[in-house]
Amino acid sequence: MRFWFVHSGEVSIREQIVTQVTLGILSEELAPGERLPSTRELARRFHLHPNTVSGAYRQLESEGWVQSRRGSGVFVRASRPAARGISATRSSAPVLNQIFASFLNSARRLNIPFSEIRDLMKQWLDAPTASHFLLIEPREALREIIVAEIQQAVPNPVSACDPDDPLLMDKLIGALPLALPSKADAVRDRLPTGTELITLQVRSAASSLAEWLPAPPDSLVGVASGWPQFLENTRTMLIAAGFAPETLLLRDTAEDGWHAGFAQTIGVVCDVFTAARLPNGVRAIPFSLLAETTLEDLKRRHHAMVSPESNRS
């Protein structure tokens, strides 16, 4: 983490240290378990009094942000203090002045025109708070599956698009973007710098279908999806679980008559999107792709999205 100090006297150096470390932890620039510069190192580098630095570290420790380990140094705690941001006893205005001053100085050193800085700041300030999720995924069939799973878990609107969609920048307005692990890096390259991207975690096939196994021997089992990889992965998993290949009835929902023969099966292993399209009387065995931890995280983020509206009403 990079420190900077204003020696104007308006805000004490101790307060500046405390605030900058707090902001570093909240912004995740300082990771849990990370070691802070030693009192002697910080004092020597910025020509500060060692007692000032040690006093700031003691305050941070008393507020629950860091912990001191004898003989090792001062480290960021694994968990943050509950409901703690910038202390109410400290004004945020001097801190913001420092942040903006540092930002503008860096921009000037890079010879970035002030007009570009102003336009970018206006764009960020005018951007609406995220109100819905946007799945960015190139495979259309997979987009339908993931959107259906998320929509079952959260009431937020969930939309989706291709990473190469020419309207991607417009669709990002007011959206919290999502991507699967295999495409996260490629999607991130298409997003504006600093945009948060949630990487969705995938659940294991065994955990999704464990309650349905083992099936009676020689039973005919259907497998249906519009995503070819789903068909192949499920086939591999079922054979590994002891099903004979000839007892598996694989159907691509993109083909005509895809549900033919399903009435003779004991059930059809399928994705959530396909489950709603099976004929009446056919037993669906939904196979969720997203990990439960991911769905719980999206639920928490949904509550964070709607809480500001609740507070205003």
In which domain, by residue range, is 154 found? Answer: 132-201+294-312
Asked if 226 and 273 touch (Cβ cutoff 8 Å), the reply is yes
Task: Identify whether residues 301 and 282 lie together within a single domain.
Answer: no
Task: Identify whether residues 187 and 305 lie together within a single domain.
Answer: yes
Residue 8 placed within a domain: no
Task: Identify whether residues 209 and 281 lie together within a single domain.
Answer: yes
Question: Of 295, 287, 304, which is closest to residue 152 (Cα–Cα)?
Answer: 295
Residue 124 placed within a domain: no
Q: Look at the chain and report how many structural domains it folds into.
A: 3
Residue 161 placed within a domain: yes
Residue 103 placed within a domain: no
Task: Identify whether residues 169 and 238 lie together within a single domain.
Answer: no
CATH number of 73's domain: 1.10.10.10
Asked if 197 and 184 touch (Cβ cutoff 8 Å), the reply is yes
β-pairing verdict for 267-270 and 73-76: unpaired
Residue 112 placed within a domain: no
pLDDT value for 251: 95
pLDDT digits (tens, 9 = 90+) for 59-69: 999 988 999 99
What parts of the chain have a pLDDT lower than 50?
83-86, 88-89, 308-313
Residue 136 placed within a domain: yes
Task: Identify whether residues 186 and 305 lie together within a single domain.
Answer: yes
pLDDT value for 312: 41
Task: Identify whether residues 243 and 174 lie together within a single domain.
Answer: no
**CB pairs under 8 A, 24+ apart, for 227-230?**
227/139, 227/141, 227/142, 227/145, 227/271, 228/141, 228/252, 229/142, 230/145, 230/271, 230/287, 230/289
Residue 123 placed within a domain: no
248 φψ region: left (φ > 0), alpha (ψ -120 to 50), beta (else): beta
pLDDT digits (tens, 9 = 90+) for 81-139: 754 444 544 555 555 666 666 677 777 777 888 788 777 777 666 655 678 899 999 99
Task: Identify whether residues 195 and 299 lie together within a single domain.
Answer: yes
Task: Identify whether residues 248 and 273 lie together within a single domain.
Answer: yes
